[in-house]
Amino acid sequence: MEWNTLGTPPSLLPLYWRAALKRKITGDTLPEQGLRCRVPINPKAVAAYRKVCGFADSPILPATYPHILAFGLQMQLLTDKTFPFPLLGLIHLSNRIRIHRPLGGVSELTIGVHAQNLKPHPKGATFDLVTTAEDSLGLLWEAESRMLCRGVKLPGDATDDAQPTPTHVNELTRWHAPADIGRRYARVSGDYNPIHLSALSAKLFGFPQAIAHGLWNKAHTLAALGEHLPAANIEITVAFRKPVRLPSEVRLMASAAGSSGELLLKGSADIEHMVGKWQPIA
């Protein structure tokens, strides 16, 4: 893996142009290149993110916040001319976060992003978008987002490693996902994917109405779990099943508080939006 170290986080506007212009699959191998950058943490931006995602005030960063710090680097990686798949149209299948130490007392982090693990899938091909966050002591946090690109043909057997539906869970809480949450989350995350912004822009991509960002669903879930979860030495994995159409109400089911457990996010008519589990880092 070759690493390209940037002096400052990328500006998003030109990257959105690059994303909009690339619509074709141009290859079937991932680039052997990653991006790194030191990214400052802005307390006002963190506070705005907490408000949109339902996190309580705390000296410790929300478990999902390093994703926000990494978003520009992820965009730059995925819109680079060496990257074979168009960014618009990628489907976020699952996300795993590992928190090695509590996310407190940091004013900047070194963020790294790269893509790996390209595999055939029944609907195309998947790869893992890997993000790491390091402080002065070393690796603090890491995540893998599994992405699906439809229409890619790869040799080999296609597998779909689906997470089972949790069984020993009870309703913990419920919340309303309002019609404008996609726009509000876009303002704090930088993720202005048209499928989240309005019914009109979502229809251009085949959705009958706007859908909530997957990482907003995960963030709001972790905010709701709060003290339910350990602050460190924890791995939290979720699989996104059916999108949350906006507006709607969702119910969070979870097992008892502890070092490991399961969660399930349900909508009306018992639609399963997201399944997940947490456990100590192996």
Instruction: List pLDDT tens digits, range 88-133.
Output: 889 999 999 999 999 998 999 999 999 999 999 999 999 999 999 9
pLDDT at 160: 75
Of 156 and 69, more confident: 69
Section 202-211 average pLDDT: 91
Residues 213, 136 share a domain: no
Distances in whole angstroms, Cα of residue 156 to Cα of each of 120, 124, 125, 210: 7, 12, 11, 35
The pLDDT of 78-93, averaged and rounded, is: 94
In this structure, are 23 and 123 located in the same domain? yes
Domain CATH for 110: 3.10.129.10
CB 69 within 8 A of CB 41: yes
Same domain, 6 and 145: yes
Provide, rounded to the nearest whole percent, the portion of the chain with pLDDT above 90: 90
Domain range enclosing 226: 163-282
For residues 149 and 193, state if they share a domain. Answer: no
What's the pLDDT score for residue 161? 75
pLDDT of residue 224: 97
Average pLDDT over every residue of 224-245: 95
Last residue of a domain, one of 121, 141, 161: 161
| pLDDT for res 282 | 87
Residues 31 and 149 in one domain: yes
pLDDT-based confidence at residue 159 (cuts at 50, 70, 90): confident
**pLDDT above 80 (res 49):** yes
pLDDT given for residue 158 in this prediction: 85
Same domain flag for 221 and 133: no
pLDDT at 227 over 90: no
Mean pLDDT of the chain: 95
pLDDT of residue 169: 97
Same domain, 36 and 111: yes
For 179, the token pair is 């019609």
Asked if residue 188 and residue 146 are part of one domain, the reply reads no
From 161, 178, 204, the end of a domain falls on: 161
**Residue 137 pLDDT:** 95
Domain count, the chain: 2
Residues 187 and 281 in one domain: yes
Q: Where residue 252 falls among pLDDT bands split at 50, 70, 90?
A: very high
Tell me: do 148 and 239 sit in the same domain: no
pLDDT tens sequence across 6-29 = 999 999 999 999 999 999 999 999
Q: What is the pLDDT of residue 130?
A: 98
Q: Which of 141, 161, 181 is the last residue of a domain?
A: 161
Does one domain contain both 241 and 253?
A: yes
- Residues 104, 173, single domain; the answer is no
